[in-house]
């Protein structure tokens, strides 16, 4: 297995992603986030894509009390709420 790029970890625990990797994965500085996970002895970085907390979709996302909810689930939830409540 190839090692790709090798980068030092600074004293704050930061690693700089090479520009070529940021370009390949369309990661925009100060805009995009990465998700960090572990699989065995591997650290995995993945471009973060927000998803609905109920269905996992990523269309028409709305933030509700710190949770992302898609338009379809939001409509379904509004139909469950008793009218006049």
Would you say 62 and 68 are in contact if contact means Cβ atoms under 8 Å apart?
Answer: yes
Q: What percent of the chain shows pLDDT beyond 90?
A: 69
Which tens digits make up the pLDDT trace of 38-69?
999 999 999 999 999 999 998 899 998 889 99
Confidence of residue 4 (pLDDT cuts 50, 70, 90): confident
- pTM of the model as a whole: 0.60
Length of the chain: 85
pLDDT above 80 (res 81): no
- The three state secondary structure string of the chain is CCCCCCCCCCCCCCCCCCHHHHHHCCCCCCCCCEEEEEECCEEEEEECCCCCCCCCCCCCCEEECCEEECHHHHHHHHHHCCCCC
Confidence of residue 83 (pLDDT cuts 50, 70, 90): low
């Amino acid at each position: 297995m190839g090692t790709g790029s090798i980068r030092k970890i600074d004293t704050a625990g930061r690693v700089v992603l090479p520009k070529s990797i940021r370009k390949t994965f369309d990661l925009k500085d100060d805009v995009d986030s990465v998700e960090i996970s572990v699989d065995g002895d591997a650290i995995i970085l993945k471009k973060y894509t927000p998803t609905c907390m109920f269905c996992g979709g990523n269309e028409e996302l709305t933030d509700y009390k710190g949770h992302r909810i898609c338009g379809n689930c939001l409509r379904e939830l509004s139909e469950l709420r008793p009218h006049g409540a």
